[in-house]
Structure 1
Amino acid sequence: MSPFLVVARPHRLIAAALVFCLAAAPGLLRAQTAAATAASASTPPRAIRRDVPITNTIRRAYAAGTRDSTGRPGRSYWQLRTDYAIDVSLDPATSRLTGKARITVHNSSPDQLRDIGLRLDPNHFLGNAPHAAPWVPAEVTDGMVISRMTIDGKPVNLASNAVPAGDGGSGARAIVAAQQNAANAPSGEAVLRNGRSTSASVRLGTPIAAGANAVLEIEWSHKLPGGPGTGHRMVQRWADTLYQPTQWYPRVAVYDDLRGWDNELYVGPSEFYNNFGTFDVNIDVPAGWIVSGTGVLKNPDQVLTAAARERLAKVSQSDAVTTIVGPDEIGPGQATATGNANGRLVWRFHADTVNDFAWATAKKYVWNATRATIPGKGAIPVHMLFLPGRANLFAKAGEISRHALEFYSKLWFPYQFPQLTLQDGPSSGMEYPMVINSNSGAADHETGHQWWPMVVSNNETWYGWMDEGFNQYMNILSDADAASKAPVFDGLGQNYGRTSGAEAEPPMMWNANYAGPGFYGFTTYQKTPLMLSALGGIVGDSAVQRAHREWAQAWMFKHPSPWDYMFFMNKALGRDLSWFWNSWLFTTESVDGRLASVKTQGIRTTVTVAQDGNMPSPIVLDVKFAAKGPAIRLMRNAVMLDSLTARVTWPVDVWFNGSRTFTADLVFGGRKIEQITLDPARRSPDRNPADNVWPAAAPPGSSPTK
């Protein structure tokens, strides 16, 4: 998902998100530095934690062998699979979806399942559902109304989903009564619980044994909301001529080895955690309406015109953009086939091993297509569907999406799906398997989500930084490649120092549903590139990307946790970085380094480096010499960057004794040192970079000394 409704290119996103970090007045920074200097004299030694906190959930997974301390899936790793067969019909007159789903639940766990968790996200639009600011639903609806449910052919008690008469399903007393009815249902009867919530469950009369399957059948309907909502997914239609359904069908929740059933509420900004499975979806719409969606269209002969099918067959032959249905081809017999006796068409889609299904339909979509050439796979189609008056927003969408698909395929692993579709509509920055609700603006970012969470499928609600943050990082690489430039990560890590310490900021390991006021976007999206910038400053950017690639390939179509990522990266990079992960992910600390003093005696220059924050960091000094003088004799921990500049490093270990200052002796054979710069690549979080250079720059407005 893009963090903004109107999306700029990724490097602008990061710049925009950091504006608040850079707004501190110079006077305030000088005051903070003075306070830090005074405090350091009386502050006790740093208590630097050098391990990764292990929670009960990950500890149990290690004991069960489902995950491994190397960061790889354990010998006993398992995950549920859910296969969907769905028939859904859209009625534009009422903006209502009516559907029935047959969901096969494959219990691959070692546990006997006494419940089935359900995600009923349309209940977000009930008047009493909790929402996270500033996500505002477009309208209040009656939520997901379930009319029939069976488990292995036996009926499920639906008391908790009953819609109270006259109040659209939002009457508190009626809902409490429905819940009580469900609670009092006879033992042995399957019962839907919390049916008016986004997180519901079915109490099973007969548990699903380990290794067994069960078939859940559900019939439902709900209205697609339209109107002046704010936030992604809060508006799902424009009037009654374009629909962009998202989270539109009853989904079986994830049951995993960490927490069992995922029962987090859907409150708006934080996103999803879904099972993988097969989808066969039949979408019934008026003839003349074009439908796009996840998966491959299985009945083009029945829904497309002969002309459209002929044009579609040529898409893979070149990078040119081909018009499949033009702006003047409108209605049955022109945009689509003529339809059945009721004036409708059923579009049939099939998708293998995906974790969601999204679609869109409009009365007057223009349909363009181009191709991307995936390494090791060949050409795949890239579809673009948009309203005629919005063609300018899609002018470069094919080119951007092609580059993203090809670039990320080389960077991580080949794109795993048979096509990609860009869908126009009210949500202009959202992602699903094989589908991005996006125009040119967010095309690169949303395409990146086809790697995570669509293949490497983390829990986005808890740890959004593992998909949104990773995506923001790799968007920098893609942006630079598209411009034929080298990516720039210098400065990103340093910028976190201006944010660190804000009371409202949660750690990255905090559940994203409960992020501090105004910090959801920063913690979920922008902080990860800063963290990986800092890591690149320690091990090298190419090493970070190589290790990340290996991690991604190890967890394809699985559910990695943050611990799997941290420990895998440690192993792949060949060093224990637990101190780094602890500081960046579990705290909101910073380094706050500075050059406390520089003294020269003979051929020795003694530099006192201070770190006033609680996050440790390696010491990196750039030493610039005078143009003339004795020969420069290189220290063992130094390299020459050019004929007059040496880079000297000390490992982070020098701080592990708890000290806040370190004495760095520079002995280069007597050549005069003209300048010393701490953290020259600006990778470590620092509140005031001005005190990282010796000699210090003169204060603004001061007169030169005579």
Structure 2
Amino acid sequence: MKKIFPLVFSLFFVVFTNFAQEKKEAKKTQQGHIDQNKFRQMKDVLATPNDQHTASGAPGHQYSQQKVDYLMNIRLEESTNIIYGDEKITYQNNSKDHLEYLWVQLDQNMRADDSKTPLATSGGAAAFITPNNFQSTYMKEGKGFGFNIEKVETNDAPLSHFINRTMMRINLPKALAPGESFKFRIKWNYKINDINKDGGRSGLETFPDGNNNYTIAQFFPRLAVYDNVEGWQNMQFWGRSEFALEFGDYEVNLTVPADHIVDATGVLQNEKNVLSKTQRKRWEKARKSFDNPVFIVTQEEAEKAEKVRASGTKTWKFKAQRVRDFAFASSRKYIWDAMATNVNGKTVMAVSLYPKEGNPLWEEHSTRAVAHTLVEYSKLTFDYPYPKAISVHSERQGMEYPMICFNFGRPNADGTYSDRTKKGMIGVIIHEVGHNFFPMIVNSDERQWTWMDEGLNSFVEILAELTYDSELFATNPAKKITRYMGGDQSNISPIMSQGDYVKQFGPNAYSKPAAGLYMLRKTIMGPELFDHAFRTYSKRWMFKHPTPADFFRSMEDASGMDLDWFWRGWFYTTDVTDIAIKAVKSLYLTDKPSERVTKLKEQYKQYFEGLGDLVYITDKKEDANASAMDSYANGKEVPSFIYSVEFEKPGGLVMPIIVELTYEDGSTERQTFPAQIWMKDDTTVKRVFASTREIKSITVDPDFETADVDTSNNSWPKKQADKFDQFKNKVKG
């Protein structure tokens, strides 16, 4: 053996050197090219690592971020639907920079009468329109939305500021040095929007009985993020791309009508002042109930409360530590239930608030879905660190905030509901509660990269849904995304696009990233390797601001896999997967060398002599001799069926080739070739399959694991329907 391998190598080297020299002579006039190999490293697109965001994807030893604390007094005036706020802000500069000003987000100004958001949408005249929409669109009917800033001051003195639509610049009296803090006050008010009439991510829902359901968020001026990646993240809020926020501590006093039930981000500080003795007793019982929700307010009590109006007010006091935002819900219509959840030894409260219009669906599933989400997400990321998670029902909402989220899913008026309604309701609760992990804790920049929270969260959501109800949520994300990916390329954006200009926002920011991560876990990396890497990223960036590069690098760093080919193709391009069987050739064992091999043996006699005995492979059936290997097989059965299979790749993406062989006896066998099989040739590759049984058929990607957009070319022999499928695809294209 020591002699044969050098001889074989030398023979092939001489033969292919001559061949390469001939090709070189033929192509002397061709120009050079840059590296466009699909497996080239991503150093040309990822940010240069530094001591804050390292090459491993972890936070560096110089990583820092700002801290912002809020002390707020909020009053909800039900008679006018106006919120009045007075907030004191402490801004801690933990960066190495001197700051001349601070930027504050005024998200409610997106719907102000002078907002530019409606003007940024292209559209012609509609054939029909409601009178209300005609008034608001063409008669310039103002609604009076947006922040009214009453005061901006520091130490009781006016503070210079400038409002640029949804952003307000606070001009500091002097530059804020590293390590210093600055305290100031903003007093404000605004009219609350009706979610069903005016739209919006938060607001109020009105009911025929005259009551309102207030689900309130983005309701106060909030500090923008300052970091070493973007500087100030002060991009305008156009209504789609969400929020970049700093962590801090909150102390919030919420004054609402006395008969309202309230819950919010944080821990309630004054239970005895706002809850009845019966409610406190039930809450204590809920803290010990790990199997079933306990009603703190029953449906009968909620129905009784909604029929009257209290004249006074109550103030609910909440404190929250290390959160990036604050939201609350308030209504006299709420049914309130809760149960304890064991998250790796720590008790976390799962809570639901909902009007009777949500039942029976909500009392059956909401709190259980919250608890399930906390447990399942914690398995794949980190133990949920907050004391509770709340699901609040509103007819048309699906929005997330620290410890609280607002969710749709309403049964029919008679209480009946379809599986579709049930699936949508449970799915949105799992999704929105899951956002506590991404981005409420792993705090990515939503204004820039929607997929970093929506895509990652949608991926974990899929796994959590499957463990909640595998039949109801049975899915194949890779297969489902093919219709989108195989669509009109002029209407598709790469995932790595800023959210405001993305086309087909849902598939781009939610479905495609989730499908990609699902493929990574199931097909490319395997669950054990993927889960370790994903957990590593999640824990590294808890309560910090990661970038896309931090995610990509962490996944590779913790897994030992080079995934640049996947990130580049799936996230930075709109290329598609399309792997086809180009040709299958039957080959045969023989003891007769072909004419070409005979010539080679004569030309390189000394090399062939060192190889000893040889058997040959031919494509001529008449020369077949299945017994050619018998004397060398040491009693083992010799494969007499040999197939040379050529695969081609009409699609731009490289992916593993999953091959299923079906034998004449009906049995099957699978072989998976890693994506790296395409490293040397991006168009076609070949593999040889040898068997003791005849292969009846060959199928590429039989379970639709790689998001192949055209399965008509995945089989051999080709199916009869292929031509019709190709015709349909041609017509569709």
TM over 0.5: yes
What is the DSSP-based 3-state SS (H/G/I as helix, E as strand, rest coil) of the residue aligned with 2:287? helix
- Answer yes or no: is 1:504 the counterpart of 2:491: yes
Question: Structure 1 residues 507, 70: closer, same or farther in 2, change over 3 A?
Answer: same
Residue deviations 1:554-584 (CA, integer Å, cap 9, x gap): 1111111110010111112211111110001
CA contact (8 A) 2:205 2:394 kept: yes
Of the three residues 346, 350, 363, the one matched with 2:315 is 346
Rounded to whole Å, the distance in 1 between the matches of 2:533 and 2:678 is: 26
After TM superposition, the score normalised by the length of structure 2 is: 0.76
Q: CA, structure 1 residues 445+331, in 2 after alignment: closer, same or farther (shift >3 Å)?
A: closer
Quote the residue 1:530 is aligned against: 515
1:278 match:
249
The residue aligned with 1:322 is: 294
Cα deviations by residue, 1:132-173 (Å, 9 ceiling, x for unpaired): 7799999832410111112455422xxxxxxxxxxxxxxxxx
- 1:221 paired to 2:189: yes
Residue from 683, 707, 713 that aligns with 1:660 = 683
Find the aligned partners of 1:281 and 1:499 in 2 and give their Cα distance: 46
Query: Residue 375 of structure 2 corresponds to which residue in structure 1?
Result: 406
Higher helix share: 2
For 2:200 and 2:707, locate their aligned partners in 1 and report how far apart those are by CA, in whole Å: 31
Name the SS for the 2:316 alignment partner: strand
Q: Structure 1 residue 209: deviation in Å? A: 0.5
Does structure 2 conserve the Cα–Cα contact (< 8 Å) formed by 1:608 and 1:662?
yes
Structure-2 change in CA distance of 1:508 and 1:140 (3 Å): farther
Q: Which residue, out of 124, 137, 150, partners 2:153? A: 150
Equivalent position of 1:421 in the other structure: 390
> What letter corresponds to residue 524 of structure 1 in structure 2?
A
Whether the 8 Å CA contact 1:376–1:414 is kept in 2: the answer is no
Structure 1's 311 and 458: CA in aligned 2 closer, same or farther, altered over 3 A?
same
- Determine the structure 2 residue equivalent to 1:15: none
The alignment status of 1:50 with 2:35, answered yes or no, reads no
SS at match of 1:265: coil
User: Could you say if the C-alpha distance between residues 229 and 74 of structure 1 is closer, same or farther in structure 2, counting changes exceeding 3 Å?
Assistant: farther
- Look up the match of 1:253: 224
- Cα distance in structure 2, aligned partners of 1:527 and 1:202: 39
Partner of residue 449 from structure 1, selected from 435, 441, 444: 435
Contact kept? 2:302, 2:335, Cα under 8 Å: no
Q: TM-score, normalised by structure 1?
A: 0.79
Aligned length: 596
Is there any run of 5+ residues in structure 2 with no aligned partner, and where? 1-33, 124-132, 409-424, 589-640, 725-733
Post-superposition shift, 1:493?
5.5
Q: Is the 8 A contact 2:580 2:649 kept in 1?
A: yes
Q: Deviation of residue 84 (structure 1)?
A: 0.6
Unaligned runs of at least 5 residues, structure 1: 1-43, 157-189, 628-642
Distance of 2:270 and 2:257 partners within structure 1: 16
**Paired residue for 1:192?**
162
- Match for 1:510: what amino acid? S
Deviation of 1:228 after TM superposition, in Å, equals 3.9
Partner of 2:26: none
Residue 235 of structure 2 is matched in structure 1 by 264
Residues 358 and 273 (structure 1 numbering): CA distance in 2 closer, same or farther, change over 3 Å?
same
**In the alignment, does 2:81 pair up with 1:110?**
no
CA contact (8 A) 2:203 2:214 kept: no
What CA distance in whole angstroms lies between the structure 1 residues aligned with 2:313 and 2:122?
38
Question: Is 2:500 the counterpart of 1:513?
Answer: yes
Counterpart of 1:48, as a letter, is K
AA of the residue aligned to 1:191: H
Q: Tell me the residue number matched to 1:698.
A: 720
Tell whether 2:293 aligns with 1:293.
Answer: no
Which shifted more, 436-445 or 113-122? 436-445
C-alpha spacing 1:480/1:228, structure 2 compared with 1 (3 Å):
closer
Are 1:610 and 2:648 matched, yes or no?
yes
Name the residue aligned to 1:141. 144
Q: Identity over the aligned pairs, expressed in percent?
A: 30
Q: What is the CA distance between 1:488 and its match in structure 2?
A: 6.8
> Take 1:607 and 1:324, find their aligned partners in 2: how far apart are those partners?
66
Q: Which moved more, 1:131-140 or 1:276-285?
A: 131-140
CA shift for structure 1 position 655: 2.2
RMSD: 2.9
Please state how far the C-alpha of 1:411 moved relative to its aligned partner.
2.8
Post-superposition CA distance 1:649-671 (Å, at most 9, x none): 33333323343011222233x53
- Describe the SS at the equivalent of 1:76: coil
Determine helix, strand or coil for the equivalent of 2:360.
helix
Does the Cα contact within 8 Å between 2:395 and 2:407 map onto a contact in 1?
no
Match of 2:668 in 1: 645
C-alpha displacement of 1:376: 2.4
Equivalences for residues 303-382 of structure 1 within 5 A: 303-318=274-289, 319-329=291-301, 343-378=312-347, 380-382=348-350
Is 2:557 the counterpart of 1:567? no
Structure 2 CA distance for aligned equivalents of residues 90 and 269 of structure 1: 26
Query: In the alignment, is the contact (CA less than 8 A) between 1:232 and 1:269 conserved in 2?
Result: no
- Partner SS, residue 665 of structure 1: strand
Kindly indicate whether structure 1 or structure 2 has the higher relative contact order, using CA contacts under 8 Å at least 6 residues apart.
Answer: 1
> In structure 2, the residue corresponding to 1:588 is in which secondary structure?
coil
1:236 aligned counterpart, secondary structure: strand
SS of 1:557's equivalent in the other structure is coil
How far residue 400 of structure 1 moved from its aligned partner, in angstroms, is 1.5
- Deviation of 1:327 after TM superposition, in Å, equals 4.0
Q: 1:145 to 1:384 in 2, by over 3 A?
A: same
User: Partners in 2 of 1:696 and 1:511 — Cα distance?
Assistant: 42
- Do 1:282 and 1:347's aligned partners in 2 also have CA atoms closer than 8 Å? yes
- 1:547 partner SS: helix
Distance 1:692 1:554 in 2: 41
Report the Cα offset of residue 263 of structure 1: 1.1
- Is the CA contact (8 Å cut-off) linking 1:493 and 1:534 kept in structure 2? no
> For 1:410 and 1:288, how far apart are their aligned partners in 2?
39
Amino acid at match of 2:696: E
Contact 1:497 / 1:686 at 8 angstroms: preserved in 2?
no
| 1:580-591 correspondence runs (5 A) | 580-591=566-577
CA–CA separation in structure 2 for the residues paired with 1:227 and 1:649:
50
Q: SS of 2:359's equivalent?
A: helix
Question: In structure 2, what is the equivalent of residue 397 of structure 1?
Answer: 366
Q: Which piece of structure 1 moves more, 282-291 or 229-238?
A: 229-238
Q: Please tell me whether the aligned partners of residues 661 and 668 of structure 2 are also in contact (alpha carbons under 8 angstroms).
A: yes
SS at match of 2:720: coil
Q: What amino acid does structure 2 have at the position aligned with 1:616?
A: V
Select the residue among 402, 406, 409 that pairs with 1:437: 406
- Decide whether aligned partners of structure 1 residues 227 and 433 sit closer, same or farther in structure 2, where only a CA change above 3 A counts: closer
| Residue 21 (structure 1) aligns with | none
Per the alignment, in what secondary structure is the counterpart of residue 575 of structure 1?
coil
Q: How does 1:531-570 map to 2 (within 5 A)?
A: 531-536=516-521, 537-570=523-556
Contact 2:145 2:192 survives alignment (8 Å): no
Shift of residue 309 of structure 1? 1.3
User: Residues 368, 489 of structure 1: CA spacing in aligned structure 2 closer, same or farther, 3 A cutoff?
Assistant: closer
What is the deviation of 1:468?
1.3
Counterpart residue identity of residue 296, structure 2: I
Provide closer, same or farther for how the CA distance between residues 53 and 150 of structure 1 changes in structure 2, counting only shifts above 3 A: farther
The one-letter code sitting in structure 1 at the alignment partner of 2:161 is V
Deviations 1:423-455 (A, max 9, x none): 233553111111011254422111111111111
2:659 corresponds to which letter in structure 1?
L
Q: Name the SS for the 1:67 alignment partner.
A: coil
Q: Take 1:448 and 1:216, find their aligned partners in 2: how far apart are those partners?
A: 34
Is residue 105–residue 168 contact of structure 2 (8 Å, CA) maintained in 1? yes
Residue 328 (structure 1) shift: 4.5
Q: CA deviation at 1:76?
A: 0.8
Partner of 2:10: none
Task: Report the CA distance shift for 1:390/1:650 in structure 2 as closer, same or farther (over 3 A).
Answer: closer
| Structure with larger Rg | 2
Deviation at 1:117, TM superposition (A): 1.0
